[in-house]
Amino acid sequence: MESLLNYPWPLGLLTAVVLSAVIEAGYQSAIRLRIQEHANRKEQMIAMRDGLFILVGLLFGFTLALAAPRFTDRRLLLIDEANAIGTTYLRASALPSPTREQAQRLLRQYVDARLDLDNAGLDSSKFSEAANRAKQTHEQLWQTVTELTKTDRSAVAAIYITSLNQMIDLDEKRISALENRIPSSVWLLIFSVSIIALFTRGLTLAGRFWLTLVLAPLSIAIVVALIADLDTPSSGLIRLDHRAMIRLKADINAQQ
């Protein structure tokens, strides 16, 4: 299921087709069971249908409330990381030579690694390679500052270490935010309840009308695709804005 959720709008199209077939299956079942001929049966199915559609709406509201803040958090963490890297780079310029040149060179490499990670999309190998490069740069930066503090315990070095530590912390926060997705069990619940709700919708139809087979499944499919898009930062139509990191790279290159 996770692989399907990485492609939100094809998933929405597939959902619309499946739910349309479910309504048709419900309609055919109603004919066999003669629900329209028994008022009590029809009344019971209508009550069940209405309750299930209310439940579907509540599930969508709950899931959207999970996805939207997570997307916002990912965007804010990206901006925070760009600011932290920029601050670290500026403070590195106050370090003594040759530590200054080495730290700034490593920070330039780190920005490239972060951009590669953001642009990796659904390619897990590129994502892992960029994340590993970033961690190696962390180690090199920390080794550099460790050597510096053996001879320099000034306030400038202390401030630089604080910025570097914040930058390293934000790396793990960003990766964790990217990995923090809506659980598959929630999606399974949404699809299960939606299928049951539209099946009961088919059971209560007095006659087949093509709009009935299209509008309800399409509405549910659009909401599914929208939520999945918000929850998938590496694909779909709603993407994280990486301009903060791109501007940082341009600013660093200009300073160089």
pLDDT band per the 50, 70, 90 thresholds, residue 2: low
Are the beta carbons of 184 and 2 closer than 8 angstroms?
A: yes
pLDDT band per the 50, 70, 90 thresholds, residue 151: confident
Residue type, 99: T
pLDDT band per the 50, 70, 90 thresholds, residue 31: confident
Average pLDDT over residues 100-124: 91
Specify the pTM. Answer: 0.86
d(CA 245, CA 116): 11
Phi/psi for 42 (5° steps) reads -65, -40
Residue type, 207: G
pLDDT band per the 50, 70, 90 thresholds, residue 57: very high
d(CA 78, CA 68): 16
For the segment 191-206, what is each residue's pLDDT rounded down to a tens digit? 999 999 999 998 888 8
pLDDT band per the 50, 70, 90 thresholds, residue 85: very high
Residue 79 is part of which domain span?
A: 2-255
Residue 235 contacts by C-beta under 8 Å, 6 or more apart in sequence? 6, 7, 8, 121, 122
Average pLDDT over residues 208-225: 88
Q: State the pLDDT at residue 158.
A: 87
Q: State the pLDDT at residue 98.
A: 87
Least confident of 36-45, 130-139, 211-220, 239-248: 36-45
pLDDT band per the 50, 70, 90 thresholds, residue 222: very high
pLDDT band per the 50, 70, 90 thresholds, residue 124: confident
Q: State the pLDDT at residue 235.
A: 83
For 165-228, the DSSP string reads HHHHHHHHHHHHHHH----HHHHHHHHHHHHHHHHHHHHT-SS--HHHHHHHHHHHHHHHHHHH
Mean pLDDT value across the chain: 89
* Nearest C-alpha neighbor of 200 from the set 39, 44, 59, 55: 44
pLDDT surpasses 70 at 1: no
Q: Report how many domains make up the chain.
A: 1
Are the beta carbons of 236 and 67 closer than 8 angstroms?
A: no
Q: State the pLDDT at residue 34.
A: 83
Work out whether the CA dihedral 60, 62, 64, 66 comes out positive or negative: negative
State yes or no: cis peptide before 98, omega within 30 of 0: yes
What percentage of the chain has pLDDT greater than the value 70?
Answer: 98
Q: State the pLDDT at residue 72.
A: 93
What percentage of the chain has pLDDT greater than the value 90?
Answer: 60
